[in-house]
A and B are shown apart, each in its own frame.
Chain A
Amino acid sequence: MICFISGGAKNGKSTLAQNLAAALSRGGKRYYIATMIPVDEEDRERIRRHIADREGMEFETIECGKNILSCLDQADREGTFLLDSATALLMNELFPVERSYALDPGAAERCKRELVEFARSVRNAVIVSDYIYDGAEEYDAMTEQYRRGLAGIDRALAAVSDVVAEVAAGQVILHKGVLPG
Chain B
Amino acid sequence: MILIIGGAYQGKLTYAMEVLGISREQVCDCQREPVDFSKRCIWHMEQACLACVEKGVEPKDYFQAHRAQWQDSVLICRDIFGGVVPVDATCREWRQATARLCQYLAGEATQVSRIFCGLEQRLK
Seen from chain A, the residues whose Cβ lies within 8 Å of a Cβ on chain B are: 4, 6, 8, 131, 133-138, 147-148, 151-152, 154-155, 157-159, 164, 166, 173, 175-176
Contacts and interface: CB of A to CB of B under 8 A. Distances in A.
Interface of B: 6-11, 79-84, 86, 91, 94-95, 116-119, 121
B116 A175 contact: yes
B117 A147 contact: no
Contacts of B82: 8, 134-135
B9 A147 contact: yes
Leading 7 A-B pairs by shortest Cβ distance: A133-B7, A135-B83, A151-B9, A134-B82, A155-B118, A158-B117, A136-B80
Contacts of B117: 4, 6, 151, 154-155, 157-158, 164, 175
B6 to A, nearest CB: 8
A169 B8 CA distance: 21
Contacts of A158: 116-119
Contact of A134 (B7, B11, B118, B119): B7
Given A134-B81, A136-B95, A151 B119 contact: no
Contact of B79 (A134, A157, A175): A134
Contacts of A176: 119
A175 B10 contact: no
19 contacts: A133-B10, A134-B81, A134-B82, A135-B82, A136-B80, A136-B86, A136-B91, A136-B94, A136-B95, A147-B9, A148-B9, A155-B9, A155-B10, A155-B118, A158-B116, A164-B119, A173-B121, A175-B117, A176-B119
B94 to A, nearest CB: 7
Contact of A136 (B83, B118, B119): B83
B81 A151 contact: no
A165 B24 CA distance: 31
